[in-house]
Structure 1
């Protein structure tokens, strides 16, 4: 398939590289002024790959096709939008004018963005997903990518209405050929919105613990604070009509803390999970700030008390002073 990656960060480039390795025609949309450099030098990816139960380290130069401007006359079958949620609003007008006939996969953290997307695009133009297989961040010499083999790690895909459409099946097949473990959800919105609350609460907890997952998993009190903040976010989800308990994975955060804290330590003490979170947090504090602001703003609208989330928000703000 002919696929455009919109967002040349670690997630987009790693998925693009893996799809290209599987035989797909992959292009990357980059910021103005970056095209020549990438065409000449490629994109350096230092990848730690845990798939298959073995840790493999690769240093590769990914050489996709590169564009700086998206034309409405493009012939892409899919556009995978992998930008920070704090950049979504700047992307939507461009997609509205120039996506053409491509199917748009929004591949990022999502909270209350669905009405905003609907202002620019018709519902038959887009669907949703989450790149839960890949993490990492940008390093001095390129991108540091982690590909997880955790049983919790999948590439989540789904239509907003829950249908399993041909376009979902086709992109899932492509992800499967690239060994990116596609999982088609019939309740993708119910998956995405609570996941946003989880990422916001846990990221803030890691930052408060010192900025690394290792420090976070060693601190039971901060884990408790993060879990309680996630519960506050889940309550906001419930007030908005989305029930987090409909997703099995979220039930962990409703358990008594004496049960949930050790489980969190075990799951997130995994080496790949630690590296994925640590890489993300190095360059995503602005996105995390926005995520916390969004949850707190909606919580205020629904009269939800959020003392733990506010406390963690202060830690994030203090860390950037």
Structure 2
């Protein structure tokens, strides 16, 4: 299976590097600056699961795409999705499978509209990674998993080929027969984690120490109500697991959105939080809900960032 990794950033670079080391047919689609980094330094990953130093990994730029691929792994930020789709459009044929590893749900509709619903799979990445100034990828914990599946849940011959391509490659690859449900559940978790840590500029443990447990739980419940409204309510055992993680005293857990805020970078506020607000619809109660509070805070950060950089 010929695999195109869109970008060689933190997530794409990590999983693409593992696939390369496992002998899979992988090519990275990158911009000029990243191409120069890969040419000069190779693909470098520092990880508790084992480091990667892969010299001159196969990579192309958009102008060089002249053939279609079997599988496209997509891990861009949501605000870059339109540009990403433009960049890899030439690689998409009738039988190409696009596996997006974005949080939230709206990207599925955007991908299906741009290409075809038949091209699009459901997917999730469970990993904490970052990149340093040199382009080195830093794996920040021991979790490294891709979960994927047909949106309708079927075990089709093509999804079994994807499972074969991703399995035994140095990370956990899980074929799910309920990927849409799992995507909704992760969205609820990430919207809560990003909303809390990004808006309050603190780790979960710091928020708990400051008396914020009820705020966290109310936000999780509000997101869960949106999922239930879409017929994908968070399952009780999953909710309990999320609650335990999000209320652990002393936890250093944060979302990548907090790192982006601290860098003064663009954030995925609309895809993660704004879309949740939009799907919730109008509230019946007076005042701002926890979801409204974090949305207002993060949108204010975004407005200030645009103003100061303008």
TM-score bracket, normalised by the shorter chain, equals 0.7 to 0.9
C-alpha distance in 2, partners of 1:163/1:268?
Answer: 41
The equivalent of 1:85 in structure 2 is 78
Q: Is 1:48–1:147's contact at 8 Å kept on the other side of the alignment?
A: yes
Query: Where does structure 1 lack aligned partners over 5 or more consecutive residues?
Result: 254-259
Give the match for residue 307 of structure 2. none
Within 2, Cα distance between the matches of 1:211 and 1:21? 36
| 1:257 match | none
2:58 aligned with 1:68: no
Aligned residues: 296
Distance 1:162 1:278, change over 3 A: closer
Q: Distance in 2 between matches of 1:121 and 1:155?
A: 23
TM, length-normalised to structure 1: 0.79
Q: What is residue 215 of structure 2 aligned with on the other side? A: 225
Deviation at 1:296? Answer: 1.3
After TM superposition, the structure 1 = structure 2 runs for residues 120-269 of structure 1, keeping only pairs within 5 Å, are: 120-132=114-126, 134-146=127-139, 148-149=141-142, 154-216=145-207, 218-219=208-209, 221-245=211-235, 248-252=237-241, 260=243, 264-266=246-248, 269=251
Larger deviation, residues 284-293 vs 236-245: 284-293
SS at 1:196 equivalent: helix
Instruction: Find the partner of 1:293 among 264, 274, 277.
Output: 274
Task: Give secondary structure in 2 for the equivalent of 1:221.
Answer: coil
User: Structure 1 runs of 4+ off > 6 angstroms?
Assistant: none
Distance in 2 (CA, whole Å) between partners of 1:263 and 1:16 is: 28
Query: 1:265 Cα deviation (Å)?
Result: 4.3
Q: Under a length normalisation based on structure 2, what TM-score does the superposition of the two structures give?
A: 0.81
1:278 is displaced (CA, Å) by 5.7
- Deviation of 1:22 after TM superposition, in Å, equals 0.7
> Is the contact between residue 48 and residue 146 of structure 1 (CA under 8 Å) also seen in structure 2?
yes
C-alpha deviation, 1:251, in angstroms: 4.5
RMSD of the TM alignment (CA)? 3.1
1:173-215 CA-to-partner distances (Å, cap 9, x unmatched) read: 3332113212221111111123223212211211344344553
Query: Which moved further from structure 2: 9-18 or 220-229?
Result: 220-229
What is the CA distance between 1:311 and its match in structure 2?
Answer: 1.6
SS in 1 for 2:31: coil
Q: Is the 8 A contact 2:43 2:54 kept in 1?
A: yes
Distance 1:92-1:141 versus aligned 2 partners, 3 A rule: closer
1:160 shift after superposition: 0.4
